[in-house]
Structures are given as C-alpha cells and as structure tokens.
Amino acid sequence: MTLIRTPRQNKRLPKAITVEQVERLLAAPGNADVLGRRDRAMLETLYSTGIRVSELVGLNYLDLDATGEALRIRGKGKKERLVPLGTHALIAIRSYIELVESDAKFSKAWAEENRTEAALFINKHGNRLSSRSVRRKLDKYLREAGLDPTISPHTLRHSFATHLLDNGADLRSVQELLGHQSLSTTQVYTHLSTQRIQKAYDDAHPRAEAG
C-alpha cells in the first residue's frame, strides 16, 4: 500500500468577479467624510494592486510613494516588494489623505513624531485598521451594491490577477505583483483565462460546436 500513490486532487480555481461588478463595488463608498474616502481608497487599492488584506492593513503612511505612484509592501516572510498604483487608486488615496490631514481629530495619527510607524489606513480612533474591520466594511458595500455576499477581500486579489491575464499581462509579471514565490502558484489563474477564452470561442464561432 505504501507504493500506491494517492490520486492527485484538482486545484480549486480561485473565484473572480467581472470588471462591471468591481466597478459597482468601488462606487459604493461615499466621498463626504474621512471614513468614506478611506473605504474607497482601501477597495481601490486592493483591486489596483492585488495585495492581500493583511498587507493592506500593514501599510504605513510612509509606504506610499505618491511621486513614483507605488506602494512598498511587506509580504510573507517579511519580503518587501514595490507594486504600482493605478490612477484611480492613487486619486482615492490622495483624496483620503487630504481630508485626514485637514481634520484635527484624525491628523494626530500622522503627526511628525508618529509618522514612522503610523498606519496608512486608520480607524475612527486614529489607530491601525484590522483585517476583520476591512472584511466588515466590504460586507457593508457588497450589500449596498447588491453583489454576492460571499465576495471576500481575496476575491479582489483573484480578480486583479485574472483581469490582468485576460488583457495580455505575462504570467511572470503577475507573479511578482502578487508576491508569489513560485510561478506554479500563479499558474492557477491561467486556467481561468483559458476557460474564458474557450467560452468566448464557443459562443462566437459559427463552427465551434456540432449542430
């Protein structure tokens, strides 16, 4: 029996949502106060960069390179990487920072003496936001946008990778952006892209299926 190999289990394909669904979610937070702008900036950042929620809440104020339009991310094993920020995410973060810095209640969190360890995304008390809080906020906006309540922060990470590959990004670049050590970990996303291509072919080509 020791010589008999157990059957290989198929890798569970990650779930991704459509670009239209992402846009509905990102439009849900308000823009009138600090917390609404923070929530929009968080969601834009998750989708723009594909970072893990633990990496999002671990971001410090000084990890933002607004000039270089990038974030310094501390991933698994304390490995650091730079990830580019899309225009929409950068605008949302700048809008959030602008309101925090003009609000006496919140601006203390980023005072000069606190800035080295200050969190980028803060709660209503000016402290670092938790992963659980991000999940609660996401649940709230999923309800407001009428989207599937099982969507998680990790779903945005999957969607980021899938949408990049769907639009021609190479696998190695996506691996680096996601912070995967092994390329095989990233390759699971190619199955999703292949499935989408196959479906598009089947739906569109007049001789794709037998009559």
110-168 per-position pLDDT tens digit: 877 677 789 999 999 989 999 999 999 999 999 999 999 999 998 998 888 888 888 87
CATH code for the domain of 187: 1.10.443.10
Whether 54 maps to a domain, the answer reads yes
DSSP annotation of 93 reads: H
151-162 residue pLDDT tens = 999 899 888 888
Whether 10 maps to a domain, the answer reads no
| Distance separating alpha carbons of residues 176 and 173, to the nearest angstrom | 5
| Distance separating alpha carbons of residues 47 and 207, to the nearest angstrom | 37
Whether 3 maps to a domain, the answer reads no
Is 140 labeled as catalytic in the residue annotation? Answer: no
pTM as predicted: 0.79
Identified catalytic residue from 76, 115, 135, 143: 76
Is 38 labeled as catalytic in the residue annotation? Answer: no
Quick check: 155 and 169 in contact, CB under 8 A?
no
Whether 119 maps to a domain, the answer reads yes
Is 180 labeled as catalytic in the residue annotation? Answer: yes
Whether 133 maps to a domain, the answer reads yes
Whether 131 maps to a domain, the answer reads yes
| Distance separating alpha carbons of residues 26 and 196, to the nearest angstrom | 23
Whether 27 maps to a domain, the answer reads yes
Neighbours of 30 (CB within 10 A): 11
Quick check: 76 and 179 in contact, CB under 8 A?
yes
Whether 210 maps to a domain, the answer reads no
| Both structure tokens of 205 | 């080509």
177 residue type, one letter: L
Q: Which residues contact 67 (CB under 8 A, 6 or more apart)?
A: none
Which residues form the domain of 162?
19-204
Identified catalytic residue from 38, 157, 158, 163: 157
Q: What is the pLDDT of residue 106?
A: 84
Q: Domain total for the chain?
A: 1
Identified catalytic residue from 154, 172, 199, 201: 154
Q: Report which of residues 96 and 176 the model is more confident about.
A: 96
N residues, the chain: 211
| Distance separating alpha carbons of residues 157 and 49, to the nearest angstrom | 8
**Sheet of 80-84, strands arranged across:** 64-65, 70-74, 80-84
